[in-house]
Homo-oligomer: A and B are copies of this chain.
């Protein structure tokens, strides 16, 4: 799957662009007409933040030090804040948040179960890579929502603080036992396929009810994978 979406060579990005803003911009441009209606968008994003929170909760529970626990608590708080903001937006539309989230529950619960990880380090990798990828994707896709809402979603899904915490914790783990890196790299490669499927499932269907084909969405996903690779690189992991 990574081969299919191999990253095309592209001119060097202007230095003002962070990895996040590059991937977000690609989704915004390429997938703008595949944004679903506000209610399913918010419903899926809201349930997804619960799933990301549960992964972070597990990371706090299994953290081996007080310092890791309290730092990861901050990342968990940020994702919960995003969740509450999305629920508030659903209420603002007059929607029942639970009804809006429920259709996405079975698939996202299954996704979460597959990505629990065997230990604390794998859970950290899951949190770091899935939060990054999906925040990029949903922030970009939000650009197709009504004006105002799109901007508010962008603010809610700004999880940079949590990502920095996760990167820092993972860096500590890898420095402490370098031999873990190849196992974590394998885990990172495994989870990205499932994560791409979650992102793809959020795209609006066409008039005939069909999902957009791979070629249609490839450019945006190439950028998302590029940002994923840079996250792996930042830790010295081979993507």
Q: What residues make up the interface of A, taking CB atoms closer than 8 Å to B?
A: 46-47, 50, 53-54, 57-58, 60-61, 65-67, 69-70, 73-74, 76-77, 80-81, 83-84, 87, 97-98, 101-102, 105
Contact = CB atoms under 8 A, between A and B. Distances in A.
Given A58-B61, A61-B58, A80-B80, A53 B73 contact: yes
Nearest to A49: B73
Given A46-B70, A54-B57, 9 more contacts: A53-B76, A54-B60, A57-B57, A57-B58, A57-B60, A65-B98, A70-B83, A77-B77, A77-B81
Contacts of A73: 50, 53, 80, 83-84
Contacts of A80: 73, 76-77, 80
Contacts of A76: 53, 57, 76, 80
Nearest to A99: B66
Nearest to A57: B57
Question: Chain A interface mostly helix, strand, loop or mixed?
Answer: helix
A105 B66 contact: yes
Contacts of A84: 73-74, 77
B54 A50 contact: no
8 contacts: A47-B66, A53-B57, A54-B60, A66-B101, A70-B83, A73-B84, A77-B77, A77-B84
Contacts of A53: 57, 60, 73, 76
Nearest to A74: B84
A97 B70 CA distance: 9
A204 to B, nearest CB: 22
A236 to B, nearest CB: 26
Contacts of A67: 98
Contacts of A61: 54, 57-58
A69 B83 CA distance: 11
A73 to B, nearest CB: 6
A46 B66 CA distance: 10
A73 B70 CA distance: 18
Nearest to A86: B70
